Amino acid sequence: MITFDQVSLEYQPGHFALRDVSFSVEPGSFTFLTGHSGAGKSSLLKLIALLERPTAGEIHVGPLSYSRLKPRQEPALRRQMGIVFQDNQLLHDRNVFDNVALPLIIGGYRFADIRKRVAAALDKVSLSHRALDAPLSLSGGEQQRIGIARAVVARPKLLLADEPTGNLDADISADIMQLLMQFNAAGVTVLLATHDKGLLDTFGFPQLVLQQGRLKNSGRDASASARSELQSRPLTRRPRVQRDSPVSERELIRRTVTPGE
């Protein structure tokens, strides 16, 4: 799904945000991107989201090579990704429904489809009843769930999450993780940047560890190498929904764990 080959990002001469980073993430996987603050996690996500261009190396997402991508092709590629931000980036001048609908409006969907998909996305994050509310009237956790609903409403194949639980307490973080895992179970590749050790320990997904712009566990397939280790590790907080279990997406929605459950 995502392949980095000797990728470097140099903001100023001699100041590397990323240096010779190589890894690959398999389609449908859930991968943690971790490291201390300033290690290059956000820069790496920005490269994938086409917000930055590498100064060296090659990035592939699916069959696409970023170096051959023309600027006018970037928006279309970005529409195939869902992005969840630490500060959720909701627009406060419109209600929850319109926030979640924005990617669909951008994508040129018909009104009937927009309505249906937004309803489904809000249902998935258990916030349908807040559709009419302004984002500022929601709690931090609810706002983040709205951010996730917006990221997945266009059914992207890749979900990038930059510290989505950074401002949330442990219980709400677990709920957010649960949601992301459900989308992962439905086939969405998830790359989650976090430096929350609690999350990393609790949810034993493969990790890409960055240190001062370099990948510590660098390899062509960091996620694959870590997967075998992961599968033997029990989940301490909530049962993980198996990606290959024969449950439908609707069934998964029903299993959404709401706060206080």
Contacting positions for other proteins (CB under 8 A): 49, 51, 72, 75-81, 83, 89, 91, 93, 95-98, 101-109, 111, 114-115, 118-119, 122-123, 128-132, 150
Smallest gap, in angstroms, from Cβ of residue 108 to other proteins?
7
If the CB atoms of residues 122 and 177 are measured against other proteins, the closer one turns out to be 122
Smallest gap, in angstroms, from Cβ of residue 103 to other proteins?
5
C-alpha gyration radius of the chain: 18
Helix (H) or strand (E) holding 227: helix 222-231
Lookup result for tokens 């470097």: 8
If the CB atoms of residues 236 and 258 are measured against other proteins, the closer one turns out to be 258
If the CB atoms of residues 93 and 244 are measured against other proteins, the closer one turns out to be 93
Smallest gap, in angstroms, from Cβ of residue 240 to other proteins?
26
How far lies 206's CA from each of 10, 29, 180, 229, in Å?
Answer: 27, 9, 15, 8
Helix (H) or strand (E) holding 211: strand 207-211
Short-list 55, 76, 78, 58, CA closest to 68? 58
Short-list 102, 104, 101, 144, CA closest to 126? 144
Smallest gap, in angstroms, from Cβ of residue 95 to other proteins?
5
Smallest gap, in angstroms, from Cβ of residue 245 to other proteins?
24
| Distance from C-alpha of 174 to C-alpha of 23, rounded to nearest angstrom | 27
Please check whether residue 43 is in contact with residue 9, taking contact to mean a CB–CB distance below 8 angstroms: yes
> Is the four-CA dihedral 208, 211, 214, 218 of positive or negative sign?
negative
If the CB atoms of residues 33 and 90 are measured against other proteins, the closer one turns out to be 90
Amino acid identity of 41? Answer: K
**Token code pair at residue 14:** 């001699």
If the CB atoms of residues 104 and 215 are measured against other proteins, the closer one turns out to be 104
If the CB atoms of residues 84 and 172 are measured against other proteins, the closer one turns out to be 84
If the CB atoms of residues 80 and 217 are measured against other proteins, the closer one turns out to be 80
Amino acid identity of 243? Answer: R
Smallest gap, in angstroms, from Cβ of residue 162 to other proteins?
11
Short-list 218, 164, 162, CA closest to 193? 162
Smallest gap, in angstroms, from Cβ of residue 127 to other proteins?
9
